[in-house]
Amino acid sequence: YLTNIAWGPEDKYIYIAILNRDQNHMKLNKYDVKTGDFVKTLFEERHENYVQPLHPMIFVEGNDNEFLWRSERDGYDHFYRYTIDGKLMNQVTKGKWVVKDFIAFTGNSIILTGTHKDALETQVFRSTIKAPRSTMISKAEGMHRVQANYNGRFLIDSYNSLQNPGTIELVDHTGKSMRTLLQSENPFKNTEIAQTELYSIKANDGTPLNCRMIKPAGFVPDKTYPALVYVYNGPGVQLIYNSNLAAAPLWMHYLANAHNYIVFTVDGRGSENRGRDFEQTIFRNLGEVEMRDQIRGVEHLKSLDFIDTDRLAVHGWSYGGFMTTNLMCSYPDVFTCGIAGGPVIDWKFYEVMYTERFMDTPKTNPEGYENTSLLNKAKNLKGELLMIHGAQDDVVVWQHSMDFVRKCVEEGVQLDYFPYPSHPHNVRGKDRIHLMRKVIDYIIDHNQ
């Protein structure tokens, strides 16, 4: 795989991160632009599971002989400073947090964003280039997006949180506020919005897992409520943030308020922004650790007096569709119903680079592919399951759900199914209203 392509400052050389098929060995290679000839390997990275280079090198401003490289080699995504010959000079950022975005150079420092508070927030940092010293310069809690002027001296900081609908502020490179450009009003100030809570529970191994619970606006503690577990829990994705509405779509608030539901989500192990060990614990067995964490979330729900433990539904799309189907088949007595959208059913049918990064190849990991294939679990399905698929899905191809339907027929298992003609992996535009109406109606009708 040829990844993370970067041009040298003088356009004489091109730099490419080369990954082997197993994706556990990366070489950062230098090539001559005119001839295409290989010049040298600057350095290599290896890991027993996989390495995941996602960002090209960044040449240091004013110094064409040095560049910054991002790596998870110490367990978290951080910057490292190299010479153009591939000599490691020093680690630039360090700690149990993850770099999100490079913003700008400013003198002998860089401005960047990174995670904070167990990845619930993205904050702004200034880090010196020649030593791992980072200072958080943003002051407000929540999720920050930043733009810099040409020399990194001034920043436009746009941020919001569960308590703040949105602020845009002009600040200098030390974080000092120069001017508030915009303070958004709460768009729901005249609307009865659902209650949102952020907190954590512990996985079976003690790992803290971020949770989001949405309660009806008129929540009464001594009543009992049915619940929907909304799930994704796959690599590269995080669902829960300290942002406006905690990153929950408004249909969840509608389900909570209009139908007196509790809507619960947990970002289990395998999801993004919590460091290499948190993410790679799912290696070679997609769905197993993630299901344990989702069931841990269900156990938490069942411990709450206000949850009707006989009325639990589950819903997710894509990897969340895989998880929904997996949960319905692996824990058939837990959920009354589920809605699986665009679900991966058998990882042998999914995109090669993504799948083999996390699963290795079917030849080297046959047990993992066998254990995670939902075709082998269809016979266990007991609750009501609605499977939805875009008929032109080029991400999770239609073969996934079609094969699951065929397996259900063979096993004499009943399944509800709905295709969306002309739609790819996600149902967009006006048809999304139809989709969400179908999802909500199915939950209401079958979670009895």
Active site residues: 318, 393, 425
Q: How far apart are CA 392 and CA 379, in angstroms?
A: 27
* Collapsed DSSP state (helix, strand, coil) of residue 240: coil
Q: How far apart are CA 240 and CA 119, in angstroms?
A: 9
Q: Which two tokens stand for residue 108?
A: 């002998």
Q: Which two tokens stand for residue 282?
A: 């799912």
Q: How far apart are CA 282 and CA 269, in angstroms?
A: 7
Q: How far apart are CA 60 and CA 249, in angstroms?
A: 40
Q: Which two tokens stand for residue 195?
A: 């209650």
**What angle do the packed helices 250-259 and 431-446 form, to 10 degrees?**
40
φ, ψ at 41 (rounded to 5°): -95, 120
Find residue 6's DSSP bridge partners.
15
Q: Rounded to whole angstroms, what are the CA distances from 159 to 89, 165, 317? A: 34, 8, 28
- Residue 75 CA to its chain's centroid (Å): 17
Q: Which two tokens stand for residue 254?
A: 């509608």
Contacts of 31 (CB under 8 A, 6+ apart): 13, 14, 15, 16, 37, 38, 39
* Burial class (CB within 10 angstroms; exposed 0-12, middle 13-18, buried 19+) of 210: buried
Reported for 29-34, long-range contacts at CB under 8 A and 24+ positions apart, including other chains, are 33/7, 33/8
Q: Which two tokens stand for residue 301?
A: 């729900």
Residue-wise DSSP of 320-346: HHHHHHHHHHHSTTT-SEEEEES----
- Residue 282 CA to its chain's centroid (Å): 14
Q: How far apart are CA 168 and CA 171, in angstroms?
A: 10
Contacts of 164 (CB under 8 A, 6+ apart): 140, 142, 244
